[in-house]
Amino acid sequence: MNGLLGAISLGYVFSGFVVGFLVGLTGVGGGSLMTPLLILLFGIAPEKAVATDLIYASITKTGGSLVHGFNRAIDWRIVARLASGSLPAAFATLLIFYYAGLDSAAVAALITRVLGFALYLTAAALILRPWLLRHYAHRFEGLSPEATRSYTILTGAVLGVLVTISSVGAGALGVIALILLYPKAPILRIAASDIAHAVPLTLVAGVGHLLGGSINPHLLVSLLIGSLPGITIASAFAPKLPDTALRLLLAATLLLVATKLLF
């Protein structure tokens, strides 16, 4: 433990604090910001960055899930439906990685492309969220219970693939999909359910990468030391800041990062 703590990097701690603070303000952006930050700013290999971020996310979101669970804000029916699609998809993605025998260069190229694509999707979801909800939410109200269940499982499967490859998708994309599928559910219940679902998904995907040896424990501890107080402090400021400004700022950041990764 002393050796682990002795290797703590202040740069990683500060990065964890900034990302944690932004996640606390907006509710999204953990994987969207942390993974490209590790790749572009610190030169961490894409596979190691994704694996570290997945374990980091599973730990931080466990705390949020415990709080939401204590407050009875989680709809476990939604969590179960998402997980029934995402967990098999995550397992299948990890198996494909393993049996395909991709070399590190191929894995890095795949992760970079999927990460850039996922960032563009997340930014678009953030920018268009009001328009999507205004024009499409009512169209999902007439879905039968069976159709809603099937679409939720399909949403989980898509998130499982995206999160396993790039660590991005469980935040903005998951929340918007759930708002459309469950238009009558309170936003707090949607967000809490999305956070609870992200815990097993990021844990399974992270452990799968961990078994391949692609994780940095010193980096993980440094990020957690910074992010946990960042999330806590941000929660005090979040109600005082305009949602639109935060969404657009985060979306602009993600577009810039995605462009940098892909081009």
* Residue spans per domain, the chain: 2-262
Query: What pLDDT, on the 0 to 100 scale, is given for residue 235?
Result: 63
Do the Cβ atoms of 59 and 203 come closer than 8 Å? no
Query: What pLDDT, on the 0 to 100 scale, is given for residue 241?
Result: 66
Q: What is the pLDDT along the chain (263 residues), one digit of tens a residue?
A: 455 555 578 888 998 888 878 776 666 667 778 888 888 888 888 888 888 888 888 887 887 788 778 888 899 999 999 999 999 999 999 998 888 776 667 778 888 888 888 889 888 887 887 887 777 766 677 788 899 999 999 999 999 998 888 888 777 788 888 888 888 888 778 888 888 898 899 999 988 887 766 677 888 888 889 888 887 777 666 556 676 777 787 788 788 888 888 88
Query: What pLDDT, on the 0 to 100 scale, is given for residue 81?
Result: 97
Taking Cα atoms as reference points, which of 111, 73, 89, 87 lies closest to residue 214?
A: 111
Taking Cα atoms as reference points, which of 18, 25, 54 lies closest to residue 169?
A: 54
Q: Please give the Cα distance from 232 to 35 (Å, whole number).
A: 21
Query: What pLDDT, on the 0 to 100 scale, is given for residue 41?
Result: 84
Query: What pLDDT, on the 0 to 100 scale, is given for residue 209?
Result: 80
Q: Please give the Cα distance from 98 to 6 (Å, whole number).
A: 33
Angstrom distances, CA of residue 224 to CA of 2, 13, 137, 140, 149: 16, 7, 36, 38, 35
Query: What pLDDT, on the 0 to 100 scale, is given for residue 91?
Result: 94
Query: What pLDDT, on the 0 to 100 scale, is given for residue 6?
Result: 52
Q: Taking the mean position of all CA atoms in its chain, how far away is CA 193?
A: 13
This prediction's pTM: 0.79
Q: What is the DSSP string of 71-131?
A: TT---HHHHHHHHHHHHHHHHHHHHHHHHHT--HHHHHHHHHHHHHHHHHHHHHHHHHHHH
Q: Taking the mean position of all CA atoms in its chain, how far away is CA 214?
A: 18
Ramachandran region of residue 35, left (φ > 0), alpha (ψ -120 to 50) or beta? Answer: alpha
Angstrom distances, CA of residue 67 to CA of 70, 221, 227: 5, 22, 17
